[in-house]
Amino acid sequence: MTFPNPVPTGLYLDGGWRAAADGASLVVTDPATEERVAEVAAASETDVDAAVESARAGFAAWRRTDPWTRSGVLRRTAELLRAWAAEAAAVMTAEQGKPLAEATAEFLATADQFDWYADEARRVYGRTVDGHSTSQRITVRREPVGVVAAFSAWNFPALLPSRKIAPALAVGCSIIVTAAEEAPLSTQVVAAALHRAGLPAGVLSVLVGDSAAISARLLASPVVRKLSLTGSVPVGRILLHTAADRILKTSMELGGHAPVLVFPDVDVSAVAELCAKAKFRNTGQVCASPSRFVVHESIHAEFVDAFVAATSKLEVGPGSDPNTSVGPLSNARRVAAAEHLVADAVSRGARVAAGGGRDDRFTKGHFFRPTVLTDVPADAAVLHEEPFAPVAPVLTFADLDEALAVANGTELGLASYVFTGDLRTAFLASEGIEAGMVGVNTLALATAEAPFGGVKQSGFGREGGAEGVEDYTTVKYVNMELA
């Protein structure tokens, strides 16, 4: 159960860690201090090709491994991640910036993924079908799709890749994961747990480096049969075009712009405080984060006052400080993006009710004050671009139809939320929202036992729940005529 200290910084290939073939590396920096955290190997084309060959051999063996054995590896991985959670959280906070409590919670949620799919490994069901005659035997079974190429973002550097690794391994696939350049060490912790749990060589590879170059090389290989991405819409479009040329099985989680509909029959102060804490979790860098607060006009002023009061209580600082509730943004690009969203909204008539810019208490680090905007016009960028930043626009509505029109007014449809004490309103609102997930009187959606994913330009496919294994399998139908 001993935590791997130091965390491996090599490429995880063929059951071990190694330097890049050409000796290349990249530096990981702390977003709170902008100082060096580690230097990790950066994959070359030779390394990508080695990962593909290793995964090909790994798949040939792993697909023939019985599901109870696969389940045991996943279960032991979950146990290790839970035992390592505190030490692993410190690694994540240093490279990604989120507060230690959030990093710890992420590793525990990552363990849940492996625990859940340890069960699902033994429950990949097929069926029999009666045919036209008694001499027919029709069977339908699910088989592993093959070698998987997986890409995920830096905002949840342990959980996001594990949502792909766990179901892929459960059904018998091998998988090549490209860890996020900004925060690769957390993914390496997961790889170390799987290695310690007894995962055979070749079943998992972890690459770090230029994601565009790695993806092009991986997706050009005839060995790769499945693509899974958690990322932005523009990146998703590029990879979908590439996948279409190869006719690859594909699943995409491409971000969101989650509306929160707040009806007048709620405890306004309590809901506002809950919304503020959820919005600014991980400094607003959450694809399913509440990002547009659509509040009934009769309680709008009360909600804004309570939301601003709750926001002002949030402590901004380095994630390593136990008093911090909002850490730095992941990089300087995110700070510039946040500034753009605020400046654009203000130029169109919006009012800054809290925050509004960089936190000038810090001379280093990517700190931005949690920001609340009101009087936001419909054409403001913050209402259309995914606000991967601590910027919260508050809008109003007069009735359910208007609320739904606002909620459905973007091309994104990942998560959404409804707060009401009326059952009829809860049903009509949750049914009328165009999104893959709806939380009613809760802002907690991501959990291992439920399917996570979106509609419209938020992508397709599901991670989590019993549905999570489907994207890593193919259906084989056999019609046997008895001699």
Q: What is the DSSP string of 11-31?
A: EEETTEEE--TT--EEEEE-T
21: alpha, beta or left? (left if phi > 0; alpha if psi -120 to 50): alpha
Asked if omega into 6 is within 30° of 0 (cis), the reply is yes
Report helix angle 185-196 to 67-96, nearest 10: 150
- 407 - beta bridge partners? none
The strands making up 290-296's β-sheet, listed across from edge to edge, are 351-354, 371-374, 391-397, 290-296, 258-262, 415-419, 437-440
User: Is the CB of residue 256 less than 8 Å from the CB of residue 415?
Assistant: yes
Measured at the CA of 345, the angle between CA 315 and CA 338, to 5 degrees, comes to 45
User: Is the CB of residue 290 less than 8 Å from the CB of residue 407?
Assistant: no
Question: What are the C-alpha distances in Å from 343 to residues 258, 293, 336, 365?
Answer: 21, 19, 10, 21
**Spatial CA neighbour of 428 closest among 411, 451, 452, 404:** 404
**Tokens 């990322």 correspond to what residue?**
231
User: Is the CB of residue 287 less than 8 Å from the CB of residue 256?
Assistant: yes
Question: What is the Cβ-side half-sphere exposure of residue 115, based on CA atoms within 13 angstroms?
Answer: 14
**Spatial CA neighbour of 459 closest among 441, 432, 480, 437:** 437
Distance CA 155, CA 76 (A): 25
The strands making up 473-481's β-sheet, listed across from edge to edge, are 127-129, 136-144, 473-481
The active-site residue out of 253, 386, 463, 470 is 253
The active-site residue out of 173, 275, 287, 386 is 287
102 is known as an active-site residue: no
Give, for 412, the enclosing helix (H) or strand (E): strand 412-413
The token pair at 175 is 């998988």
Instruction: Name residues whose C-beta falls within 8 Å of residue 267's C-beta, 6 or more positions apart in sequence.
Output: none
Distance CA 280, CA 314 (A): 9
The backbone torsions φ and ψ at residue 137, rounded to the nearest 5 degrees and listed phi first, read -130, 110
Distance CA 221, CA 263 (A): 52
287 is known as an active-site residue: yes
Question: What is the Cβ-side half-sphere exposure of residue 41, based on CA atoms within 13 angstroms?
Answer: 24
Catalytic residues: 253, 287
